[in-house]
Copies of this chain bind each other. A is one copy, B any other.
Amino acid sequence: MRSYGELCPIAKALDVVGDRWTLLIVRELLIKDAARYTDLRNGLPGIATNLLSDRLRQLEEAGVIVSEKAPPPIATTLFRLTRRGLALKPILHELGTWGVPELAGGAETDAFQTHWLAFSMGNGFVDAHPDRPPTTIAIRTGDAPLTLEVADGRVQATQGGVDDADLVVTGDHRIVVDLLLGGIDLDEAVARGLQLEGNVDALERLQPRPRG
């Protein structure tokens, strides 16, 4: 990206991460910790391979990521955020918070991957009833299962499924996203076809964190 040429921290930050796709690459690495080239491409539907390659090079030059050759048996390169790159997390979380209302205007054909939802659920949610015992919600939608653990007043999202969830939520990803992030209520979600199995009260405990 051509520099804005301004002695301003915001402009300087955008000089580094303001290019198209760049912050979405960072999002992928924040979720996946370490990722191969192909993992990144899969998580960024529509990116051109030359652009991914360019961006990774720029991010490495800027000290945001490192690429490490995995040891011989794996014969691949892994990309990982540096400490500097990890420091981008608050920016991504603020962007995600701000972007939630924009989900409403989404197209039918929008791509969806469960780990994107996991990142959003990992921030900005608290347990509305911290006094109640811990509970586990299994989300079955999209390309992979997702588990929400509600305990100690906090909500933690982890990728992968569990057998002993207190509530299993199954359905089209658009319904699930609207329910968890979009602010529709449970009745509407069920009316649109969401399937619930187990203790429905667990869902009420998910509460967007009040903004500071």
A76 CB, min distance to chain B CBs, angstroms = 25
| Residues of B close to A34: CB separation below 8 A | none
| Residues of B close to A201: CB separation below 8 A | none
Query: In the bound complex, what is the Cα–Cα distance between A105 and B11 (angstroms)?
Result: 12
Determine if A74 is an interface residue (Cβ-Cβ < 8 Å): no
Determine if A75 is an interface residue (Cβ-Cβ < 8 Å): no
Q: Is there contact, CB below 8 Å, between A12 and B106?
A: yes
Query: In the bound complex, what is the Cα–Cα distance between A110 and B1 (angstroms)?
Result: 16
Q: Is there contact, CB below 8 Å, between B45 and A9?
A: no
Q: How many residues of A contact B (CB 8 A)?
A: 55
Which B residue sits closest to A84, measured CB to CB? B101
Q: Indicate how many identical chains form the complex.
A: 2
Query: In the bound complex, what is the Cα–Cα distance between A116 and B177 (angstroms)?
Result: 37
Q: Is there contact, CB below 8 Å, between A111 and B9?
A: no
Determine if A91 is an interface residue (Cβ-Cβ < 8 Å): yes
Q: Is there contact, CB below 8 Å, between A5 and B98?
A: no
Segment at the B interface, from A15-23, A126-134, A161-169: A15-23
| Residues of B close to A84: CB separation below 8 A | 101
Query: In the bound complex, what is the Cα–Cα distance between A12 and B88 (angstroms)?
Result: 18
Query: In the bound complex, what is the Cα–Cα distance between A211 and B88 (angstroms)?
Result: 12
Q: Is there contact, CB below 8 Å, between A12 and B107?
A: no
The 7 closest A-B pairs by CB, nearest first: A13-B99, A9-B99, A12-B102, A8-B116, A7-B110, A12-B99, A9-B96
